[in-house]
């Protein structure tokens, strides 16, 4: 094998010498075969230093690997997904993988098409954040021809690696906080109830009210969508129906920002007249005016956990599917207490079979 070139210029030998690994290890890395992550880093760094240009087409034909991973999410402009992306990409890049993005607009047919296309081997794996999990999703996951990691809740027994948030605890943190501030007419602005987060956060709101001794009132609940404009319209409808609402629990930060827009236009002071809490604790929460109290669902940590689970599968891991749950924390800002920023964490991330998105 001595002197064999995989591309114009550097040889397997020279890359192995520069990386301090065996020729066999270089061959495995360059052909996309399962290899220790540290070895991948060394070989790729040496190849870059020596100016080696990989022939991706030839490599994929030989190994049936593309060294690409897809990330499919509902809205590429949503800051929560961007936080995931900023963690997923470097983890995969360090291991020699490129990231392919899909923005599905939460259309089930598009998500099913992405899952179906795994059989075409255009990527080696898929990280997906579905807002709805249908029977068609479950059937495609069961038949998937490549590793899949789902960020979000899936039914118990689904044989797929899963990273999820704990919305139930997150909503409780928010309601407890608002109740402690003396708020008693706490409204809920939610996304569609046929989505995983909408259903989970709606149920958690009702449960959290009971936990502080407040009755559930359907008039205080308004369903919209997980976008700023839709959130604003939902808040306007709620205010028309229940003008004495004194707090709003919003199912994500984009809805909460829409709430701030409408409250400002209506001359309602935040937090004096109406306190507002969002969910996701995106960059926009800290930058809004007033700054937005928000429940962090660990978007960045969920993204990193999903990428790590994917790498384990791509590098030969064949154990039982894993569930990683990321604990929420409440970040208090001016939109509720008008106080300096403070964190109220729940328990830390765990691998366990409980909680919901």
pLDDT of residue 227: 94
Alpha helices in the chain (DSSP H): 12-19, 23-30, 37-49, 56-63, 79-94, 108-116, 135-142, 167-180, 196-211, 228-241, 253-265, 283-287, 299-314
Ranges 12-16, 184-188, 240-244, 290-294: which has the least confidence: 12-16
Q: What is the mean pLDDT of residues 275-300?
A: 97
Q: How far apart are CA 124 and CA 289, in angstroms?
A: 43
Q: Is the pLDDT of residue 165 over 80?
A: yes
| In the chain, % of residues over pLDDT 90 | 71
228-241 and 253-265 are packed helices; what angle lies between their axes, rounded to 10 degrees?
50
Q: Is the pLDDT of residue 61 over 50?
A: no
For residues 24, 27, 28, 33, the Cα torsion angle rounded to the nearest 10 degrees is: -150
End-to-end CA distance of the chain: 52
Q: Is the pLDDT of residue 171 over 70?
A: yes
- Look at residue 294 and give its three-state secondary structure: strand
Q: Which long-range contacts (CB under 8 A, 24 or more apart) does 341-349 make?
A: 341/286, 341/291, 344/173, 344/177, 346/166, 346/169, 346/170, 346/173, 349/298, 349/301, 349/305, 349/324, 349/325
pLDDT of residue 348: 44
Q: Is the pLDDT of residue 313 over 70?
A: yes
* 68-164+300-318: CATH number: 3.40.50.2300
Please indicate whether the domains covering 12-63 and 167-296+329-349 agree at the CATH topology level.
no
pLDDT band at 318 (very low <50, low <70, confident <90, very high): confident
**Is the domain covering 167-296+329-349 a CATH 3.40.50.150 domain?**
no
Name the CATH superfamily housing domain 12-63. Answer: lambda repressor-like DNA-binding domains (1.10.260.40)
DSSP code, position 168 = H
Domain boundaries, the chain: 12-63, 68-164+300-318, 167-296+329-349
């Amino acid at each position: 094998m001595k002197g064999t070139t995989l591309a114009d210029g550097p040889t397997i030998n020279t890359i192995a010498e520069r990386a301090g690994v065996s020729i066999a290890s270089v061959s495995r890395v360059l052909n996309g075969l399962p290899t220790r992550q540290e070895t991948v880093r060394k070989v790729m760094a040496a190849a870059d230093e020596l100016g080696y240009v990989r022939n991706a087409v030839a490599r994929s034909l030989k190994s049936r690997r593309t060294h690409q991973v897809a990330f499919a999410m509902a809205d590429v402009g949503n800051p929560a997904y961007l936080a995931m992306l900023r963690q997923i990409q470097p983890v995969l890049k360090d291991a020699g993988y490129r990231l392919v993005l899909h923005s599905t607009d939460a259309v089930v047919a598009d998500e099913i098409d992405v899952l179906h296309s795994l059989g075409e081997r255009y990527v080696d794996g898929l990280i997906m954040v579905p807002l709805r999990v249908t029977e068609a999703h479950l059937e495609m996951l069961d038949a998937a021809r490549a590793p899949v990691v789902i960020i979000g809740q899936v039914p118990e027994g689904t044989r797929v690696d899963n990273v999820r948030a704990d919305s139930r605890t997150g909503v409780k943190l928010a309601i407890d906080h608002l109740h402690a501030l003396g708020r008693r007419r706490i409204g809920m602005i939610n996304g569609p109830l046929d989505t995983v987060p909408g259903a989970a956060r709606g149920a958690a709101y009702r449960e959290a009210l009971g936990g502080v001794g407040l009755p559930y009132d359907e008039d205080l609940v308004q369903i919209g969508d997980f976008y700023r404009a839709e959130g604003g319209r939902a808040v306007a409808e709620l205010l028309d129906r229940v003008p004495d609402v004194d707090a709003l629990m919003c199912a994500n930060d984009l809805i909460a920002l829409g709430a701030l827009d409408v409250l400002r236009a209506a001359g309602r002071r935040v937090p004096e007249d109406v306190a507002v809490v969002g969910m996701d604790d995106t960059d926009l929460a800290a930058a809004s005016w007033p700054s937005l109290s928000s429940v962090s669902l660990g978007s960045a940590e969920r993204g990193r956990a999903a990428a790590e689970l994917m790498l384990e599968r791509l590098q030969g891991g064949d154990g039982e599917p894993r569930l990683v749950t990321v604990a929420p924390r409440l970040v208090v800002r001016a939109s509720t207490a008008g106080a300096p920023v403070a964190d109220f964490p729940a328990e830390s991330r765990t691998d366990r079979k409980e909680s919901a998105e």
